[in-house]
Structure 1
Amino acid sequence: ILKGEQDAATQYLKRTTGDQLSTKFEPIIGNALESVNATKYYSDVTTTYNKIPFVEPVETDLTAYVNNLAIEGLFKLVAEEELKIRKDPISRTTDLLKKVFGYQE
């Protein structure tokens, strides 16, 4: 992880926790979307759209779509923080970060 890609730790976290996070996020996202009827309206629109000939079908499950974007966005932010920690010693705000990422220099 230390000598790998600039986002190696993030990739590891995504690989080992991504599915669990997705499972935890899904009901929260689903409830939020349901509370404003977004899933119904989105499903109606995308189902109709997908019936149009020669168009590339779009995802009709809004909860799954938003959940996927949320997970991707989360790990994008984590990767950005990891890069800061790797490149800037000032970003290593804990003793553990200083110890672990100090070895790479």
Structure 2
Amino acid sequence: RAAEKAAPQARELFIEAIQALTLDDVMAIYKGPDDAATRYFESHMSQPLAERMRPIVEDSLAQVGAVQSYDNLVGQAKALPFVPDLKADLTTWVVDRGLKGIFHYLALEEAAIRKNPAKRTTELLQKVFGSGG
């Protein structure tokens, strides 16, 4: 849920990434694989989006006591023999999984838009990919 609360932070970054598009980027996306636009956004947005999501996720996890519970678990696990060292930063883990989820679902939607004319619900999408009719 913490990552869901932070997802709206992406809107401004999408706009910035779109404004940074070059003609070469546009052609690579148009001619590229079903997830070409998603991979462009991922490469331009992941780091700044993670930075914006982190405080929101951190606050959400703290409010529900997840960080304290996780820290207790890690502390107990360290005392056990043969238990590998656990990744101790829960916030980073949640942010990383949130980003993977955002770009995963974006790629699925992009592929659907490219393949199915009925998904091209805006004039811009119809101009870029054709109306299919």
* TM-score normalised per structure 2: 0.71
Q: How has the CA–CA distance of structure 1 residues 95 and 50 changed in structure 2, closer, same or farther, with 3 Å as cutoff?
A: farther
Aligned to 1:74: 102
Contiguous gaps of at least 5 residues in structure 1: none
1:28 to 52, 56, 60: 56
Identify the match of residue 63 of structure 1 among 91, 98, 121: 91
2:41 is the alignment partner of 1:13: yes
**Structure 1 residue 51 displacement after superposition:** 4.5
Give 1:60 shift: 1.1
Cα shift readout 1:33-62 (whole Å, capped 9, x = no counterpart): 001111011012123324534333321111
Q: Does the aligned pair in 2 maintain the 1:47–1:60 contact within 8 Å?
A: no
Give the gaps of 5 or more residues in structure 2.
Answer: 1-28
The match for 2:68 is 40
Task: Kindly report structure 1 stretches of 4+ aligned residues shifted beyond 4 Å.
Answer: none
Report which stretch shifted further, 35-44 or 81-90: 35-44
Say which of 73, 80, 84 aligns to 1:52: 80
- SS of 1:10's equivalent? helix
RMSD, aligned α-carbons = 1.7
Distance in 1 separating the partners of 2:77 and 2:103: 31
Letter of the 1:5 partner, please give it: P
Deviations 1:73-103 (A, max 9, x none): 0111101100110000110111111111229
Q: 1:3 to 1:53 in 2, by over 3 A?
A: farther
Q: How many residues align?
A: 103
